Amino acid sequence: TYFFCGQRCLGRKALKEVEKRSIDSTFILIHPHLPTGIVEVSLDERGHPTYLIKENVAWDNIILDQDLTDSSAKNKWEVFCFGTLAQRTKENREVLSQIISQVHPHQVFYDVNLRKNYYEKEWIEKSLCQSSIVKLNDREALIISELLFGQTLKQEKLAELICREYDLSIVCITHGKNGSSVYRNGKLEKVVGINGPVADTVGGGDSYSAGFLFSYLCGTSIYEAAEFAEIVGNFVVSQSGAVPKYPKWLEKEIENLKYKIKK
């Protein structure tokens, strides 16, 4: 994870949480002036979130640490992930392009992740050009369809067009409780959703992305990866908070996938 947090208590708390979860914090840097970013989330009666995203915060001004970038360029990167929201400043958009060009990842995963008015057609088009795998939800599919092609397209046609126009290999479209669809090589496959309880949906999209990428990079098909993503996403939205502790049965599923790599 490459991002900036502030020097005060929130930044220190964030770093402690990262260390507690045994996540590599090499690329998490402290901004000398700006505060740690805050997102205020309010949930409606169905658990659907509304976001108030504070501006002019540390992650709005990600500064490229050349020593870290040079070091990371020597590593083998299976996948580099990014979203639209982190590009709401010109400085971040420039840094993003530099990082992608220097680390040469095998796959580049773009989570469209549109929030409020923090996106423009130009940013999205460039992001698509830099990517190999794209994930979006039903609402974002409608917005992208109108923004890029001037009309409301069926999702299969939209996936076909953005793969052809931007040289993508995989498109994932999530449908909330109705599952998801994955598109590759001219074929759209639908994955049935899991009808489970919903505590809140914060973190649902990111957990789907993580589940999909982990499974796919372990060597599964995109359909199997989407099935695993549904399992992970469904568990996360059944809990309060975006990063709940995984139960034993899910940890076992993860270990089974890791074993697949070793084989």
Element (H, E) at 33: none
pLDDT digits (tens, 9 = 90+) for 131-172: 999 999 999 999 999 999 999 999 999 999 999 999 999 999
The residues that bridge with 137 in the sheet, in sequence order, are 174
DSSP three-state, residue 35: coil
Element (H, E) at 110: strand 107-111
Length of the chain: 263
Residue 202: pLDDT band (50, 70, 90) is: confident
CA angle 176, 41, 54 (to 5 degrees): 120
Element (H, E) at 170: strand 170-174
- CB neighbours of 118 closer than 8 A, spacing ≥ 6? 53, 84, 85, 88
**Quick check: pTM over 0.75?**
yes
Q: Which of 233, 259, 248 is nearest to 172 (CA)?
A: 233
What domains can be seen in the chain, in order of their start residue? 64-193 (3.40.1190.20), 195-263 (no CATH)
Whether the per-residue pLDDT at 5 is higher than 70: the answer is no
- CB neighbours of 142 closer than 8 A, spacing ≥ 6? 152
Distance, in Å, from the CA atom of 8 to the CA atom of 30, rounded to the nearest integer, reads 10
